[in-house]
Structure 1
Amino acid sequence: MKNSAALKRQMRYQQWVEEVKDFNSRPKDMTVREWCALHDIKPPTFYDHMRRVQDYFAGQLQSIDESNQMVVSEPTFVELPPAITEPKPVMPGVASIICGNARIEISEDISEEFLLKLIGAISHAQ
């Protein structure tokens, strides 16, 4: 008997999920009252179904949390460091190319061949 009740409950939830999906795909200019009238559902009943579907899926997420150790939490705000506004000083014997927050530093012991490849790559990028 217990399985029969669970099956009936599951079928109701499935019906309500389909109802909510159908509601969400309604024309943008159609009001809740118009949609409910079209489907022969009273608005308070529809809102109850929607709340129960939301509660059901919220419960599913909590079950996933417990079984898979997946954490669903409130949004967390993190303070980020400010954007780089002034470039750090260039060390002696180093050439720097700065573009926004990106910086390429070229030391004085770079080979001429590599420097020519770098210049070629930069000129092709522009």
Structure 2
Amino acid sequence: MNTREVTNQYRLNKWTEIVRECRSSGQTVASWCADHEINPKTYYYWLKRVRTAAYEALPSLSSHTSPIVPVNVPVSTAGMAPGDVASSSDIIIRMGTVTLEIRNQASATLIEKIHSGHFNMFGDVSKAEKIYIACGYTDMRKSIDGLAAIVQQNFQLNPFQNSLFLFCGRQRNRMKALYWEGDGFVLLYKRLEDGRYQRPMNAEAVRSITSQEFRWLLEGLSIDQPKAVKNLNMTVCL
């Protein structure tokens, strides 16, 4: 692979990461681009290049030994929720705020994974053994590489350990979570439409919190609750 091909592959990897972050943020493209100071036209150009590369990487249909039999599914609007828009997808699965659309061209392996419950789009961060939160604010423009560098260089921690790392923005209405899942990083991004996160403001660079304190944080409460009943480690019974 020559220098030009290496450069193109590096750019595609960065563009793919940006597209994934935008789509997982829950924001519109215009809003996300404004928050990250990216021109929407530039974003759509990157998206086009990523799609083209993905299409070219697909194997030719002539290489399939098993015939593909199309199934015609009649389009019906019965049972659609108010405000739903007619879709060209043949199967639509709604899981909370996530909508999964499946076409007839989907592979049998993918459908089997969805049916058996093994299809996880965001990873299971509940498996994290420890939770760390960055004290003070973090630049929300940072993505996986930038946040992992903060964990390693500023916190002196291993970003590949089984831990969840939390970062809050300056305005305290945005939070990112970084988690290593074994085969890759999971990056979650949440923006509150109303309310603020009560992130710690002490002098420590990073702080370890419990799962209960994490729940308080997500509910807009301070992680320091002086009136909360605390667990005691007793060794002697009097």
TM-score, normalised via structure 2 length: 0.27
Rg comparison, structure with higher value: 1
Bigger relative contact order, structure 1 or 2 (CA pairs below 8 A, ≥6 apart) = 2
Higher strand share: 2
Higher helix share: 1
TM-score, normalised via structure 1 length: 0.48
